Structure 1
Amino acid sequence: MITSPRFAGQRFAVLGLARSGLASVASLVAGGAEVTVWDNREEARNALADVATVADPLNLDLTGFAGVVVSPGVPLNRHPIAAHAAAFGVPVIGDIELFAAIRADLPPHRVVGITGTNGKSTTTALVHHLCQVAGLPTRMGGNIGLPVLGEAALPAGGVYVLELSSYQIDLTHNLACDVAVLINLSPDHLDRYDGYAGYMAAKARLLAMQHAGQTAIFGRGDADTLAIATQVAAARGTADVRIPDPAALSGQAGWPSLQGPHNLQNAAIAVAVAQALGIDEGVWRAGLASFVGLAHRMERVAESHGVLFVNDSKATNPASTAPALAAFPRIHWICGGLPKADNLDECVPAFGHVVAAYTIGEAGPLFADILAPYMPVTRSEMLCEAVRQAMHASQPGDVIMLSPACASFDQFRDFEARGEAFRDIVTSLIADRATAGTVPPAGAC
């Protein structure tokens, strides 16, 4: 784990004991801090009773505490912990702020921080991969699901690649990234902010924490991101600002896991990061070709009878599904779930790529009505039926894609469970077809 003796004798409260909370407790305790922990789940509290004091920080006099470390999932605009800590002059921080405090005690290194509304995880994983291909010691962490404090510290010359959500940035005050990235912006998480402007300002703070001479990289796909790039350039000078042009990056046909216009932008940004880190073109081009995408994000699951099966279960809103539909010319589109919007407007420009749609879940009837004027629609209801029906209708060269444009919670625990179900269904139906010589009939799922 990453820790520091600078925590010795300091007092911290940790609220929320999921992955980042547990890593924070371990790092603080190892550094000699006195830690008080709390979680709504009794079993989570009990698991740490032997290493920390168990008490709700809302009931504590926080005088003398160095900080309250909260989970990014705690809504600071509604949870009373923010006001309670402020009454004692105690900062509310996250695990990334603890990492920022530790940096001076680590071997010389660089940090790449990546944020944006969509594409963060793919870009983070790609930058990490390019560093690995270049032979740079590297760790990946943050919102991608790997708490950075739980990772082993890197030797000198290492690169920490961090995916950062707006929630994590809200809890961070001193992370000066050597390279900071803002991929794109569109309305999201507005229940946590004072409108879209508040959400944009939260993202922009990642750039504001940088120092002069550090590199700021921006996507060019939307006006709001470019407006922030202009502000940063005006404040710090254009030498620090890079806005890579995806159209200038050749070779995408040779990068199997980076198809579609959104992934071309992700690749262009990752290349700009690689260049800022001093990685040569021959190295990053080899890395683009060898990159294997993340699970549930345009994941190539299988190919059978000339048909490619793609798991894009992470696409939980229309804005993230739209570029997936633009990635292939002939798509059998499986969509639906728990809707986040009552329209699919952002997907309309790519409807010409859809051969047929198969609607599932709670949004199924709504989506079927929206899509019927544009394409053939089958009201499948269940994921297994949708895959089976798409297999019956597909022909060589087609793509069967799960890109739901919806949350998963009507039928699945989370988007990972939905994507894993898709994988399992595809594998089973392909095996059954190999045995029987045809796609199983209705009801065979």
Structure 2
Amino acid sequence: MDIFAINFVTYYIGDVNFFNLHFLSYIMLLWFVTSYFSGFYKVYRFTNVLRIITLSVRQFLIFTLGYFAYFGIFREGIVINNQLLILISILLGVTFFKFLGFFLLKQYRSLGKNYRTTVVLGFDDSSKKVIKIFKSKANLGYKFLGFFSSRTYKNPDFLGTTKECFEFIKNNEVDEVYCSLTEINESQIKELKKFTNERNIILKLIPNSNELYSKNQDIEFYDNTLVVLNVKKLPFEFAENFYIKRIFDVVFSLCVCVLILSWLIPILWILVKLESKGPLIFKQPREGLNGEHFVCYKFRSMKINLLSDKVHATKNDTRVTKVGAFLRKTSIDELPQFVNVLLGDMSVVGPRPHLESLSIEYQKEVEDYLKRHIVKPGITGLAQVSGYRGEIKKKSDIKNRIRLDIFYIENWSFFLDIKIIIKTLFNVFEGEEKAY
């Protein structure tokens, strides 16, 4: 709606200095960039009007600076009419849609639509305030199912003890869990956090108002009076991070396919065919996002054998051809996986995809193994550039890999991906000891 407002204003005023591809491209890109960094669209169902005004003022100030910068950079020395008219019209149009959408959505939620189902763990003073807000503020869009407590209450909203909450959540559609920090201990919070993460349920902690908490915690205010601590989200739970990573994956993979694979494939087809019979491309089912299977592509580096889908290559493996040994040593055999990236099965950087048979085995040995499935597998990863690649000789090898995979998922950033890619390139040129 904001982009529509920007385009409509320039069209309606009809000034050719503004209603042209050059200006509109600049102004829309400026809007996207400034709104991302100002957090303009970080508006939630509990966000109040004052917060909307604060976000708008911040966004408009930054946008205005970028708006006038256009004329200084591209139209220096030229008198342009309607500058202020266009700017004020854009800001008024955006403000109109912002508040119109905000109030209409609240009205829609007050009718019982677009709600989120919630349960509360605890029945202390802070928990009662949360429950009161859920019941009295219908326009927030929360459907309160009931509460759990270590004590028994003769209350129609009482659903059972805190231990019984897990079974209830399994059997009912619950979107958010609010937990009082005075109700359960630290180990129980960890158990609850793991439980909600596995089911994609939002967990929020209700602090004791008399206690102080770390400034690194995400604090939210409900109805301007109640403080709620929001459990830190993983980087890929933010949509903007997902799109940043996907755009980079597509651009980077296209460059590799066009600049490298286009001429490398014919050469390798001849070399691989001369040494052993079989196709150039080796296809193998691997586990990807959410544990779903996909076909992983590699340049064939082994003789055709029946164990290729069951057993990883080991040192001095007789199945590996001479050309294949070079391909593995330089990691060239992995290059076809950039096609997997373009198809959306993989990412350039991420946890390496495993065979299903090995994945089942590793799940028994590593507690948080399945957590690595919440992101797409990668051609390279933090574990690989940290020395954990190749043959699994002992349990600590796979545990260290998973530990680094999970660290990557929880601490992802665009620059971490770049750092891993650069480290991978250095490893390729230096040669890796475990690349066999």
Q: TM-score range by the shorter chain?
A: under 0.3
Q: TM-score, normalised by structure 2?
A: 0.23
Which structure features the higher share of helix residues?
2
